[in-house]
Amino acid sequence: MLLFLITAVASLFSGAGALLRLRPILPGMARAGVPESWLVFPIGVLKLAGGVGLLAGLWLPGIGTAAAFGLVLYFTCAVYTHLRAADYSAQFVLACGFLALCAATLAVGVAHGGGAILGG
């Protein structure tokens, strides 16, 4: 449960930062070749949806695991994008950390049969 909460809060915080177009995000995005126009959609929306899905998954069977899977896909693409651009900045390291966190969350969700962590 704690891992799902940590991952959800991190995803929600990161998604909100993208929606707000926080200045520290912009240089890494430019180095990776990602258009600033993508900050709201798909980047911010997908991260927020993943965080909400992880929270919902604490009570609703399978939702958290599906959200973790979606976030693993998202951050796999983010890491790949940084690698293609040869951008090994702090944002690349952060994307790798998010990928590891989401993968661990997915593994826990699968270990619980994809069901709810609470109430199921």
Q: Tens of pLDDT along 9-55?
A: 999 999 999 999 999 999 999 999 999 999 999 999 999 999 999 99
The structural domain count of the chain equals 1
pTM of the predicted structure, to 2 decimals: 0.93
Whole-number Cα distances in Å, 15 to 44, 51, 110:
4, 8, 24
pLDDT of residue 19: 97
CB 34 within 8 A of CB 71: no
pLDDT of residue 115: 59
The residue written with tokens 């994809």 in the block is: 114
CB 70 within 8 A of CB 53: yes
In a domain, residue 68? The reply is yes
Q: Is the pLDDT of residue 117 over 80?
A: no
pLDDT of residue 63: 93
Q: Which residue has the higher pLDDT, 118 or 5?
A: 5
What are 98's two structure tokens? 């998010």
In a domain, residue 69? The reply is yes
pLDDT of residue 17: 97
For residue 64, what are the domain limits? 2-111
In a domain, residue 119? The reply is no
What confidence tier does 120 reach under pLDDT thresholds 50, 70, 90?
Answer: very low
In a domain, residue 23? The reply is yes
In a domain, residue 116? The reply is no
pLDDT of residue 116: 52
